[in-house]
Chain A
Amino acid sequence: MSGQGSILDIQGPIVVAQLPNARTGEQVKLGKLGLMGEVIAREDARAIVQVYENTEGLRPGEPATALGEPLSVELGPGILGGIFDGLQRPLETMLKETGERIERGLVIPAIDSAKKWPFVPQEELKVGARIGGGAILGTVQENETITHRILVPPEVAGELIDLAPAGDYTVDEAIGRVRDRQGHIHKLHLSSRWPVRMPRPFSKRDHAVQPLITGQRIMDTFFPLLKGGKGAIPGPFGAGKTVLQQQIARWSDAQIVIYVGCGERGNELTEVLDTFPKLSDPRSGRPLMERTLLVANTSNMPVVAREVSVYVGMTIAEYFRDQGYDVVMVADSTSRWAEALREVAGRLGQLPVEEGYPAYLGSTLAAFYERAGRVETLSGGHGSVTLIGAVSPPGGDFSEPVTSHTKDIIQTFWALSKDLADARHYPSVDWLESFSLFVDTAARWWHENVSEDWLQLRNKSLRLLTEAEELNRIVNLVGVEALSSQQRWTLESARLVREGLLQQSALEPKDSFCSPEKQYLLLSLMIDIYNRGAEMLRLGMSVQELLRLPLLAKARRWKIAYASDELEGLKQEARDIVPLFDALRAEYASPTAKKPQEQEAGQ
């Protein structure tokens, strides 16, 4: 299928070549350097090619070869734990072979073809059986965390005429054969290829039912996302998008994590590579890197590869979903991907509609996010891809095109605020701007697994925060003296919720991950203090006295004093509150009680 032609015109990442038979989407190899690109349009006998690599040094007249296949990824054992560039080239291998700078025109397979993997065929599967695409042929224990399920490629179906016995195989050795209806024989391997721009098929979409537990209180307790859901983290620079995504990659209860660094800093990926192998999954105790895969197109890498990197990541995510896993993909940052689209569109002279973006920005984003979801797989199991995209709005302005389109598509929106970040309130998720469409579904899980009153407490604390916001407005007009004692207590309690509950430092060893039980305990403790304080005011205690309780400073430190596996201590604190307030109550409720020391000011 390959066609030969020659280069006519080179401008940045866009090359025009004489290639009469090329199809859009087809891969093209360019020039003596052998740069890889993809046909994005055809005009007469000319193909417009976007090039994944820097085009410096290309000349008109040099050869162009159409390769007959769209950009595809290689899927099979050995990809977990690795770091790949936007074209799925293994960066560690590239480092060994060509040094610390990325060379152009390299072709390096994603999977080491010499390595042998222990394959165990599916027991019930017998030669002669009819099998369809997506069926599980057998397994490979890829590492101690992950059992890699070897699937019949989605497009293959027929009679199994051959299945290899248990043993060690490379990804290129056939482990089985299938004869289809037409009598064609398909060899099956441990690995297979799939074109990145085509969603992998499944039987049907399923309802998402379970919250993704991230260990981050502002997410799990306040704005939950479900496994199979779509979430976005918009925020200005430095607000904490990357840290939050790294936290999700670290602590979430997904089985597989695909981390796509799309147009961001090299050092951030280095940090993941440095730290993840040393961190262990709070549930399995295994090194986190065993379930993680990184796709890196850093900001200094060519812009066209940035655009494909998110598709590469998504296709790999779907591949693990099809094995029945719950996969989380984080993409940092989808804005850089959108900008790559814009750049190519601009060079093609397509009409910009808003801020230079082409008219198809919204539909491209929507189609991409649609690839997330919980599904019934072709083999009848269940798997999910949860997609969480960072959005980097210029100037932090959420009304810009990428943020506003994304907001229409996703179900959970964690809006980061510059003001909160400036005050070092992390995660800087703004509780008034953020939303989750999943609170009710998540509540079912919390009620079954943690406590019946979760939703009530969550809503109460949010109400407290909202009320405090309004009271603050009053204070800023006329001062705190205008508030009633109850109102001042509301303000103080909201501060307690903010500092004792919402704030959660990723750097704090005992609080970086917070189990649902700890989240619930802290939540109920803060509300308990609020309720008891309110009662004391009604009994005549002055708000000044209440604010002087050492308990308030102590309560702010509980989150860092007790790790998720030290909850006995936290429960003891909860028990200690009771006698403290009992004593106060006795003092105020007794006949000789002190009288309220002040008339309530204001209304």
Chain B
Amino acid sequence: MSMLEYSSAAWARGGLLAMRSVPEAALGDRVVVRDHTGRSRSGQVIRTSADLVLVQIFEGTDNLDLERTWVRFLDKPFELALAPEVLGRVFNGVGQPRDGRPPIVARLSRNVNGASINPAARAYPREFIQTGISTIDGMNTLVRGQKLPVFSGSGLPHNRLAAQIVRQAKLLHAGKAESHGDFALVFAAMGVSHSDARFFEESFEESGVLGQVATFINLADDPPIERLILPRVALTCAEYLAFDLDMHVLVVMTDMTYYAEALREIATGKGDVPARKGFPGYLYSDLAEIYERAGRIRGKAGSITLIPVVSMPSDDITHPVPDLTGYITEGQIVLSRELAAANVQPPVAVLPSLSRLMKDGIGEGMTREDHARVASQLFASYAKAQEVRSLAAIIGAEELSEEDNRYLQFAEAFENRFVSQGEREDRSIFQTLDLAWEVLSLLPKEALTRLSEKDLDARYRQAAAE
């Protein structure tokens, strides 16, 4: 069957090509389409019956001449060729080289859709990753195998934050950072601009990891439909590195909103029933298929830690893409336009941020004994300080009580000293926690009820409080 070429195209639009009388094409089959210019495109069967086969074409259907389009069904699913040499290479969304070098010599190939991990096979992630960023390490700790997205908005420095994490991330062994040997990075870019792509490349180069990165790129001016397969291709590569080659893989995916918009475009073309904002009802399951590929597996040394970047259209966290992402991932790091405007770098809004796996990765033996309580106190005090701030905005700071004024001072110090650190500052978790005590000590002892009396005796700084 794979030798036969069919030219029975019935219609083509919006990335979809319908073929008549192709007997027995299997769902999910990989397809090669040759157009009248001789260029070939790759596709996949998304619906199949005896009369009509629907193919989605990842390079898009622009410029297809139905009479002069030849389609070959490869009789196998969409697979990615894999070998250790993927590291250091740049590919497009379907896994073909984009760096002008020859295709890699495959050791093996894998279905890009993967198969779901048996929940009984998972190992619960608990190893602390020190990112050197106080708002993350101190309050929203990342652990190996976690999926932790960055929620951002246009013009906010999410790329810089992602690059800083890549640059600084390390594991601690007995307080010391470990070597980089088994570390790999998979970078998946969907719909990003040329300059963003260049920013990442330069930043990987500068941090000396370029040889450890497999890059999959679909730029803003590439066909949107290719974005549908790209994250699957990239994660197939990540799974190979993590679970075949025992590497610790960090996957940075940007921007999931463009991915979802491409999905919406195709879904609308297929006539799928929309749920919210025109996105199809299966967006949740579709995103979950991607995000749930992160994690750890019992008995395997490697791991996949996933940091998707999700831009929130109009800064709206309830928009379907961030919303559904938040329902799937293990927390989120939210960037704030206000903090960015106040020159706080990175502008992490800690209150809506969350790391669900933090609780098992911190504490004695992993970070420090007081970590959980300090984090909890920072959240509580900063939340209270925000209330005081809005009160001050109404009645004026002069009218505030003395205690309230101390909350204002605390909030200032917290944002300017703890949150703000700049792109180049790599803080150890101990520095982060000490800094936390420094700012918390601006508040009266009695207000710090989430800390134990023992903590207060040991670490509260009387001087700072005066």
Which A residues contact B (CB, under 8 angstroms)? 8-12, 16, 54-61, 83, 91-92, 94-95, 99-104, 236-238, 261, 263, 265-267, 269-271, 273-274, 296, 298-301, 303, 336, 339, 342-343, 345-346, 352, 355-356, 392, 394-397, 418, 422-424, 475-481, 499, 505, 507, 550, 552-553, 556-557
| Listed A/B pairs (17) with beta-carbon separation below 8 Å | A16-B49, A58-B27, A91-B120, A100-B297, A102-B116, A263-B288, A267-B122, A299-B285, A300-B116, A301-B116, A346-B273, A396-B318, A418-B352, A476-B391, A481-B399, A505-B376, A507-B359
Question: Contacts A299-B284, A300-B293: A238 and B326 contacting too (C-beta < 8 A)?
Answer: yes
Given A59-B26, A481-B399, CB of A238 within 8 Å of CB of B119: no
Q: Which chain A residue has the least Cβ–Cβ distance from B297?
A: A100
Q: Is the interface of A mostly helix, strand, loop or mixed?
A: mixed
Is B125's beta carbon under 8 Å from chain A?
A: yes
**Is B332 engaged at the interface, CB distance under 8 Å to the other chain?**
yes
CB of B308 closer than 8 Å to a CB of A: no
**Complex interface: chain B residues within 8 A of A54 (CB):** 113, 115
A237 with B289: CB separation less than 8 A: no
The contact size tier of chain B is 35 or more
Q: Enumerate chain B residues within 8 angstroms of A94, measured Cβ to Cβ.
A: 118, 120
In contact, A343 and B383 (Cβ under 8 angstroms): no
Contacts of B352 in A (CB 8 A): 418, 422
* Measured CA separation A86–B119 after assembly (Å): 12
Known: A266-B295, A479-B395. A102 touches B27 (CB 8 A): no
A556 to B377, CA, bound (A): 13
Which residues of A lie under 8 Å from residue B183 when comparing CB positions?
none
Could you tell me the distance between the alpha carbons of A422 and B332 in the complex, rounded to whole angstroms? 12
Report the bound CA distance from A582 to B116 in whole Å. Answer: 66
Contact partner, A101, options B46, B118, B275, B391, Cβ 8 Å = B118
Cβ-defined contact, A267 with B376, below 8 A: no
Closest A-B pairs by Cβ, 8 of them: A395-B318, A299-B288, A423-B383, A56-B28, A100-B121, A346-B273, A9-B49, A300-B292
- Taking a contact as CB atoms closer than 8 A, the residue among A91, A422, A477 that contacts B119 in the complex is A91
Q: How far is the CA of A423 from the CA of B354 in the complex (A)?
A: 11
Q: Give chain B residues whose Cβ lies under 8 Å from the Cβ of A303.
A: 282, 285
Partner of B125, one of A267, A392, A394, A480: A267
Find the B residue at minimum CB distance from A56. B28
User: Is residue B124 contacting chain A, with contact meaning CB distance below 8 A?
Assistant: yes
Residues A476 and B394 in contact, CB atoms below 8 Å apart: yes
**Across the interface, do B379 and A356 meet the contact criterion of CB distance under 8 Å?**
no
Which chain A residues lie closer than 8 Å to B125 at the CB level? Answer: 267
Chain A residues lying within 8 Å of B298, measured Cβ to Cβ, are 100
Chain B: minimal CB distance from A360 (Å): 15
In the bound complex, do residue A265 and residue B328 qualify as a contact, i.e. CB atoms below 8 Å apart? yes
Which A residue sits closest to B391, measured CB to CB?
A: A476
- Say yes or no for B331: interface residue by CB 8 A criterion: yes
Q: Considering the complex, which residues of chain B in the window 130-181 have a beta carbon less than 8 Å from any beta carbon of chain A?
A: none
B49 with A10: CB separation less than 8 A: yes
* Interface presence of B272 (CB below 8 A): yes
Task: Give Cα A105–Cα B318 distance, bound, in whole angstroms.
Answer: 38
Q: Is the CB of B182 closer than 8 A to any CB of chain A?
A: no
Tell me whether A553 and B50 are in contact (CB under 8 A).
no
Given A61-B23, A298-B292, A355-B275: A394 in contact with B326 (beta carbons within 8 A): no
Decide if B27 touches A394 in the complex (CB within 8 Å). no
Residue of B nearest to A421 (CB): B354
Known contacts A94-B118, A343-B285: A237-B326 contact under CB 8 Å: yes
Residue of B nearest to A351 (CB): B273
Question: Is there an interface contact between A101 and B47, defined as CB atoms closer than 8 Å?
Answer: no
A57 in contact with B120 (CB, 8 Å): no
Whether B20 sits at the interface, judged by CB under 8 Å, is: no
> 19 new A-B pairs (CB below 8 Å) besides A56-B113, A265-B330?
A9-B48, A10-B49, A54-B115, A58-B26, A91-B119, A95-B121, A103-B115, A238-B354, A267-B330, A267-B357, A270-B123, A299-B284, A356-B274, A394-B276, A395-B318, A395-B323, A476-B391, A505-B376, A553-B449
Which residues of chain B are within 8 angstroms of A552 by Cβ–Cβ distance? Answer: 446
A57 contacts B331, C-beta separation under 8 Å: no
